[in-house]
């Protein structure tokens, strides 16, 4: 245990003091700060200010030019040729060519560069409003009648639960759990992407420098392996704790804001500390550990530290598949058969099952079964990877990761046969 703690402390201190760890910690805060400042100081700033209007009906161009808009200024232009000249001379930022008929308005936007989807959607809404007004005038409809016709139908989906045969609404709990599962999916993916290479590099570094022979003369290979793995996992846990502390400090600082009060009004203590949320958090923590073990296993198979990036590519792709399944298919169609099947498959269940649990498409019993499978598989993979590390720690194969894996398994089997005999 003393030797294990020495390895853990060495790995932990080295990584926590590194510039990469500081950048990982500060990156989310810098992004949020930049986003806040851009919205606070430059939210209304728009480089696209003046848009020319060319129309086959001058009255339509004049009507649009008189439209008040806080983001854009419209200017009626006599002809297409004049608009092109003003655009070339940068007197206008873009121009909109309109063609009108009795009940239809169509427009085509010309600009020197893409104006972005927000500008294009805003112009689309303005033209749609004008077309609605035009058609209403031809049908002799009043403004109130047009609004009555355009009013959308009401639709609301409510999740319910049954207690003692009585139906109760569970919409508030469901929404909170869904947001929590969505966030844990993102956090898990980010941590896997960030720490997979770190763990693999730690495992492979000393093997590649050929000083492993010296280390193994004073400790067991498994001790070295577990020390490296646990050291990096403690670094990841430190990052999570820092973010948790930042969340507490942020809550105390901004708890009196109306937006925060409105958000907390929809969240109950029962939801925050309920069984579903705890299970979702369990899937995240076990999932991160599982991918960490797989990364360590891949790192142990390389002969040179510079080959680590290639070795952990399967880990990256596997995590990306689970992330895309959970984030895209899981949120849009949680009852899909693919989501149901993958919610019981280790590596993928950490992404799929939390989404199903939050959306109410599975039971807590099923979630516990999936979590049990995940924990059992993680334990087996951890033991296997430690055994394999003991066999391949002094194997330097030039045939790639797959060749090293086959060779290590063969050595492990031979060692077991010797121990039995």
State the pLDDT at residue 395: 65
Query: What's the gap between Cα 130 and its chain centre?
Result: 39
Residue 294 half-sphere exposure toward CB, CA atoms < 13 A: 20
Are residues 396 and 212 in contact, defined by beta-carbon separation less than 8 angstroms?
no
pLDDT tens, position by position, 50-103: 888 888 877 777 777 777 666 678 888 888 889 889 888 888 888 888 887 777
Whether 173 shows a pLDDT value over 80: the answer reads no
Residue 119 half-sphere exposure toward CB, CA atoms < 13 A: 22
CA distance 321 to 115: 33
Averaged confidence pLDDT in the chain: 80
pLDDT tens, position by position, 7-56: 899 889 988 998 888 888 888 888 878 877 766 665 545 555 788 888 88
Structure tokens at 153: 């139908």
Are residues 64 and 130 in contact, defined by beta-carbon separation less than 8 angstroms?
yes
| CB-CB neighbours of 11 under 10 Å | 22
Whether 376 shows a pLDDT value over 70: the answer reads yes
In degrees and rounded to multiples of 5, residue 372 shows phi and psi of -65, -45
| CB-CB neighbours of 110 under 10 Å | 16
Angle made by CA atoms 74, 75, 78, in degrees to the nearest 5? 145
CA distance 387 to 225: 10
pLDDT tens, position by position, 130-152: 788 778 877 787 778 878 877 77
Lowest mean pLDDT across 10-14, 39-43, 220-224, 411-415: 39-43
pTM, two decimals, is 0.73
- The DSSP letter of residue 77 is -
Whether 177 shows a pLDDT value over 70: the answer reads no
**Sequence-ordered alpha helix ranges (H) in 210-267:** 212-216, 221-254, 258-265
């Amino acid at each position: 245990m003393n030797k294990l703690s020495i390895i853990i402390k060495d790995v932990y201190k080295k990584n926590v003091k590194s510039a990469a760890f500081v950048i990982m910690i500060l990156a989310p805060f810098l992004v949020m700060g930049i986003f806040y400042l851009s919205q606070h100081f430059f939210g209304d700033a728009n480089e696209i200010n003046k848009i020319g209007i060319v129309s086959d009906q001058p009255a339509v161009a004049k009507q649009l030019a008189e439209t008040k808009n806080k983001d854009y200024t419209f200017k009626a232009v006599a002809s297409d040729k004049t608009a092109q000249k003003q655009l070339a001379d940068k007197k206008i930022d873009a121009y909109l060519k309109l063609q009108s008929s009795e009940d239809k308005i169509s427009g085509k936007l010309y600009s020197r560069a893409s104006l972005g989807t927000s500008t294009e959607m805003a112009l689309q809404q303005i033209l749609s409003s004008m077309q609605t007004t035009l058609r209403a005038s031809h049908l002799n409809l009043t403004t109130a009648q047009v609004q009555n016709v355009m009013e959308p139908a009401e639709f609301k989906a409510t999740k319910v639960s049954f207690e003692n045969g009585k139906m109760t609404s569970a919409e508030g709990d469901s929404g909170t759990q869904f947001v929590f599962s969505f966030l844990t999916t993102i956090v898990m993916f980010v941590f896997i992407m960030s720490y997979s290479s770190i763990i693999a590099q730690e495992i492979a570094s000393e093997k590649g420098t050929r000083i492993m022979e010296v280390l193994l003369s004073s400790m067991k290979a498994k001790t070295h392996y577990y020390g490296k793995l646990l050291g990096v996992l403690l670094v990841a846990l430190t990052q999570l704790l820092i973010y948790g502390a930042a969340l507490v400090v942020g809550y105390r600082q901004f708890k009196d804001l109306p937006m925060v009060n409105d958000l907390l009004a929809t969240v109950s203590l029962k939801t925050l500390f309920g069984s579903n949320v705890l299970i979702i958090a369990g899937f995240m923590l076990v999932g991160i550990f599982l991918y960490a073990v797989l990364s360590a296993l891949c790192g142990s198979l390389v002969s040179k530290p510079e080959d680590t990036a290639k070795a952990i590519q399967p880990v990256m792709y596997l995590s990306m598949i689970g992330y895309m399944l959970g984030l895209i298919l899981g949120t849009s169609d949680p009852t899909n058969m693919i989501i149901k099947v993958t919610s019981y498959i280790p590596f993928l269940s950490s992404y799929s099952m939390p989404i199903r649990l939050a959306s109410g498409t599975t039971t807590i019993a099923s979630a516990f079964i999936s979590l049990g499978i995940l924990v059992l598989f993680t334990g087996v993979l951890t033991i296997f990877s430690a055994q394999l590390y003991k066999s391949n720690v002094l194997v330097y194969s030039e045939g790639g990761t797959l060749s090293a894996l086959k060779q290590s398994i063969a050595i492990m089997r031979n060692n077991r046969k010797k121990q039995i005999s």
